[in-house]
């Protein structure tokens, strides 16, 4: 049993570590988006399957060393939530970066059009 518990622990810790790495990296390309969408689709299919065949979920949980299917669902939810935080954090950063560049550019453009006061004018 101990070996099986280790398996789910490895999976969960690997997922958490993966999300942490994603948080610190700054690449967000088409590949990431595609992976995210495939994962979402798998999640939908999995959710439907677990409702229709609850015993399948339990069997899968047992295979991974988790007592009940509901527990496995909770773990999956935690991972999904963390990755949601990761992606929205990234999106927020990108957006605030754009706002910064916009505001700064606006300010500098305004300064260029204004007549600059020379020390003699004051």
Partner 1 sequence: MVDTAAPQHPRSATDYAADWLVIPLYNEASVVASVIAGALPTFPNIVCVDDGSTDGSGAAARAAGATVLSHAVNLGQGAALQTGISFVCEQPDARALVTFDADGQHQVSDARAMVDLIASGTTDIVFGSRFLDGRTKPGLVKTMVLTFAVWFTKQSTGMRLTDAHNGLRAMTVPAAARVDLTQDRMAHASEIVLQLGRTGLPWQEHPVHVLYTDYSRGKGQSVWNSVNILVDLLFK
Asked whether the beta carbons of 65 and 8 are under 8 A apart, the reply is yes
Residues of this chain, 28-87, that bind partner 1 according to CB under 8 A? none
Q: Does 112 bind partner 1 (CB under 8 A)?
A: yes
Q: Give the span between the Cα atoms of 71 and 107, in whole angstroms.
A: 54
Q: What is the pattern of x (binds partner 1, CB under 8 A) and - over residues 6-25?
A: -----------------xx-
How many amino acids of this chain bind partner 1 (CB under 8 A)? Answer: 21
Name, in order, each residue with C-beta under 8 angstroms of 23's C-beta and a sequence gap of 6 or more.
86, 89, 90
Q: For residue 105, what are its two tokens?
A: 């550019």
Residue 115 in contact with partner 1, rule: CB under 8 A: no
Residue with tokens 């939810």: 77
Contact footprint for partner 1 (CB under 8 A)? 23-24, 26, 89, 93, 96-97, 99-100, 103-104, 106-108, 110-112, 116-117, 119, 122
């Amino acid at each position: 049993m101990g070996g099986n518990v280790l398996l789910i622990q490895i999976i969960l810790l690997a997922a958490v570590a993966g999300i942490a790495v994603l948080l610190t990296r700054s690449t967000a390309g088409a590949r990431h988006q595609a992976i995210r969408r495939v994962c979402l689709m798998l999640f939908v299919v999995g959710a439907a399957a677990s409702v229709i065949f609850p015993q399948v979920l339990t069997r899968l949980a047992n295979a991974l060393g988790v007592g009940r299917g509901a527990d496995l669902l909770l773990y999956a939810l935690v991972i999904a939530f963390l990755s949601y935080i990761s992606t929205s954090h990234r999106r927020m950063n990108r957006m605030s970066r754009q706002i910064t560049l916009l505001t700064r550019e606006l300010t500098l453009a305004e300064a260029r059009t204004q007549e600059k006061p020379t020390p003699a004018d004051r």
